Structure 1
């Protein structure tokens, strides 16, 4: 028996043999001891709850980060590094709903690398892959708003989603990208290639009948007109104006190696 146990034992005996006053004192002592024990148990329980809560918060944060990583991986084009077609399809539905709700214009721009097949034929598919990556980087770096998105639509074709943008604004964005690319020299192995793009733009306030397919259809019609008119230019549908490059670039050799 420890000294503390002995003291408690003597206290209990004294309380039991000491009459009514001692009994009251003993009862008070028991209540005090009980409360102290409850307080210790509550403190231990609080510590356990805090530890488990912190562990749960860390687990949830790790899970959220993994979900974000998986989401980014599933919506990113492996070759170009920009968003993929699946992301474009999903984002278009969301932006159409927002355009319809807020009655603000939504613009879609289709951009296609000119004479891309010839690049592949002359320099190989690895060179074509490098061209796609560099064009994607140039487009991405020239989108000024976080709400604007570039997606690889397929092959050598890219699509821009430009919320709250009318036809004039869409043409301005596409023309800036076209002009910068036309003035740049893309490095592929030991070669420097002059690469151009053609672009078709469509913008409108979404209504009850609007669909992603219709926006793409209109932008694609404008892109076809740009290609048919000689490439290296931006055309809107309906035609607003033709932001074309120099006429000499239209049907000449699309790249020069050195």
Structure 2
């Protein structure tokens, strides 16, 4: 082939190539390392309403509304830093007549002989019909206050919004791929499990994860390709730190309320309401396990006279001293002491028969005597107590005989009857009901 024919053929190829570039739906362009157009096909006139020569030397951001230019410049800047190809970058552009066209941009990096990035070559496609919808969804995704991200099967973060970037903060590597295996090694097995569940068509559970000083409720949703294969997880991170703090405060407040509900504010002992519940529970155990259960009902002798003589403040101090003495009188961990009302105290002794209970009661009485607390309105001249003791034997009663609260009431009545006898017989003594269990 002659040189002229080769030249003509080459010219025909070039002419054909330019016809392809200038007469299709996609705008072909090249930009330099600074993002300035160095070449443009004629399709730009149809898309932006300006001839190719008016875009040369300008950047894509010169044809975008200000807010959009800032958004796309940020995304494109990250691409340039990594010197990588990109596709599907959706952006709004303003035509010469003021109308908006939505383009989808894709490009590949160009390098000089030294391997340095010298620009990009790419195409823009008009997707205005679908583009606004896509941009609206992207805006919602990007600006929602809930952290959102997508993780592929290799653990790479392939998509995230501003809230996710804030969540990761400075802990995420910059200018490099983010791998959750290395970023959150203690939690990666959760995501791996989610992939396995998603492959099996199972529902993915929500989880609570701690990330530094914050607590998150996370929910993964599988992302599938056209062949219905799971290619990633779309993960929602809801910050529940404040809620957890509020729940902890509420739990603490409830604990305090429970403390007040179960304890006597003056002595710190259990109160009557709690001890009534405790006694029912212990009766149930005694009947089920067939062991004895004893109660001691103690009353401070001449306490009204003590108040009248020494004053109510001294009376309160007296109640506290008696309470402390009762709880320190060699009681076992399972024994319970309460202020049962006024100057009365109840001691519940699980697994304790009558003889043992009388021994405990005598120790308590002796310890109160040993205080030698002055009581000028008492014949003895010092503080004393009287105690009534009653015992229930589990094997002698079945749960069908009476309601539990009536059995408990009957046991307390026996102890109270014994206490009354102790008072009647001169006080400062221990008296037993002398019955295993009698229905009052």
TM (norm. structure 2) is 0.44
**Residue in structure 2 matched with residue 255 of structure 1 by the alignment:** none
Q: Partners of 1:232 and 1:239 in 2: how far apart?
A: 22
**Residue in structure 2 matched with residue 219 of structure 1 by the alignment:** 415
Seen in structure 2, the aligned counterparts of structure 1 residues 205 and 6 have a Cα distance that, compared at 3 Å, is same
1:211-238, Cα deviation, whole Å (9 max, x unpaired): 1111101111111111111111111111
**Residue in structure 2 matched with residue 19 of structure 1 by the alignment:** none
Shifted more, 2-11 versus 206-215: the winner is: 2-11
Deviation at 1:135, TM superposition (A): 0.6
Residue 127 of structure 1 pairs with residue 320 of structure 2:
no
The structure with the larger Rg is 2
Contact 1:186 1:194 in 2 (8 A): yes
Deviation at 1:121, TM superposition (A): 2.1
More strand by share: 2
Deviation at 1:52, TM superposition (A): 2.0
SS in 1 for 2:369: helix
Deviation at 1:139, TM superposition (A): 0.5
**Residue in structure 2 matched with residue 10 of structure 1 by the alignment:** 108
Q: Partners of 1:49 and 1:127 in 2: how far apart?
A: 55
Deviation at 1:4, TM superposition (A): 3.8
Which ranges in structure 2 are unaligned for 5 or more consecutive residues?
1-34, 36-76, 86-106, 111-119, 122-151, 159-176, 189-207, 218-239, 376-380
Residue 197 of structure 1 pairs with residue 357 of structure 2:
no
Q: Partners of 1:183 and 1:108 in 2: how far apart?
A: 23
Contact 1:82 1:136 in 2 (8 A): yes
1:168-204, Cα deviation, whole Å (9 max, x unpaired): 111111110100111213379xxxx720001011112
Deviation at 1:167, TM superposition (A): 0.7
- Structure with bigger RCO (C-alpha 8 Å, 6+ apart): 1
Q: Partners of 2:266 and 2:432 in 1: how far apart?
A: 28
Contact 1:143 1:149 in 2 (8 A): no
Residue 52 of structure 1 pairs with residue 52 of structure 2:
no
**Residue in structure 2 matched with residue 17 of structure 1 by the alignment:** none
Moved over 6 A (4+): none
Deviation at 1:158, TM superposition (A): 0.6
The total of aligned residue pairs comes to 220
Residue 236 of structure 1 pairs with residue 432 of structure 2:
yes
Seen in structure 2, the aligned counterparts of structure 1 residues 124 and 66 have a Cα distance that, compared at 3 Å, is same
Q: Partners of 1:34 and 1:169 in 2: how far apart?
A: 70
Q: Partners of 1:76 and 1:34 in 2: how far apart?
A: 56
Q: Partners of 1:34 and 1:215 in 2: how far apart?
A: 68
Residue 148 of structure 1 pairs with residue 335 of structure 2:
yes
Contact 2:386 2:422 in 1 (8 A): yes
Superposition CA RMSD, Å: 3.4
SS in 1 for 2:315: helix
Shifted more, 98-107 versus 48-57: the winner is: 48-57
Q: Partners of 2:391 and 2:153 in 1: how far apart?
A: 75
SS in 1 for 2:275: helix
Seen in structure 2, the aligned counterparts of structure 1 residues 6 and 180 have a Cα distance that, compared at 3 Å, is closer
**Residue in structure 1 matched with residue 167 of structure 2 by the alignment:** none
